[in-house]
Amino acid sequence: MSSPAILVENVTVHYGEVLALDSASLTVDAARICGLIGMNGSGKSTLFKVIMGMIKPDAGRVLIGGQPPTRARKEGGIGYVPQSEDVDWQFPLSVRDVVMMGRYGHQGFTRRPSKADRAAVDLALDRVELGEYAERQIGQLSGGQKKRAFVARGIAQGATMMLLDEPFAGVDKRSEATITRLLRELASDGCTILISTHDLHALPNLCDEAVLLMRRVLMHGAPELVLQPENLAMAFGLDVLNRDVPEPAHPATTESRG
């Protein structure tokens, strides 16, 4: 039997005294789109960092397609779309430069792009509909365009897994629809996708499965099941019952984002 795309087994992570993940376990099969939800501080970003091999867990193990995460990352298998606040948008890089970063693993130490690198970047830019913005400084794009530029970086990289941290925060509806369509296409090409989001309304439309995180995985299943009010209450506290919890049958309604 082939290895799951993501295997997280009893993973515990501390930052000093803070317990960020507490024996968290999660398995995601290849070509699935999995939504990760949980309140602020529930460990979503930490889980991403563990999956990317940027943090070594205090306990437990992580395998990405059967490999240690550091190896999967080195081989270019993991694309990452960071939270907007984690990026220095003033950095003097064009959109094309950002997407070209996805090709670094394919280049020698001189980092001189080959014809194939340039073609892969052009293709990725077209796919996210940013061809006409290629020469713009990255900070001069809209919120949604920035996210699409990072998705293009993952595409150029040939990533078999894409991790997206809050891809819809500060994003207009058109970009949200474009990103959703792209992620669906990538998944049907075999890419495994893990998305952390506070946008509960977007989940049923976007994801095949959803995970409720509160330092450990409280629940993992179909979005409609995970979004049941009593399950959200378990992860977010009772307060969420008083908010406009999405109806799975009408997922496309608008909602403010965290």
Enumerate binding residues for ligand ATP (CB under 6 A).
15, 18, 20, 38, 40-46
Shortest distance (Å) from residue 181 CB to ligand ATP: 25
Nearer to ligand ATP, 40 or 254 (CB): 40
Consecutive H or E run containing 123: helix 115-127
Shortest distance (Å) from residue 36 CB to ligand ATP: 9
Shortest distance (Å) from residue 115 CB to ligand ATP: 40
Q: Residue 255's CB: how many other CB atoms inside 10 A?
A: 14
Nearer to ligand ATP, 73 or 198 (CB): 198
Residue 112 near residue 104 (C-beta atoms within 8 A): no
Shortest distance (Å) from residue 214 CB to ligand ATP: 9
Q: Which residue has 């690198």 as its token pair?
A: 117
Nearer to ligand ATP, 55 or 64 (CB): 55
Nearer to ligand ATP, 177 or 218 (CB): 218
Q: For helices 143-157 and 173-188, give the axis angle rounded to 10 degrees.
A: 10
Q: Which residues contact 234 (CB under 8 A, 6 or more apart)?
A: 212, 214, 218, 219
Q: Which residue has 């005294």 as its token pair?
A: 17
Nearer to ligand ATP, 46 or 192 (CB): 46
Nearer to ligand ATP, 48 or 133 (CB): 48
Residue 69 near residue 52 (C-beta atoms within 8 A): yes
Shortest distance (Å) from residue 56 CB to ligand ATP: 14
Residue 227 near residue 248 (C-beta atoms within 8 A): yes
Shortest distance (Å) from residue 52 CB to ligand ATP: 13
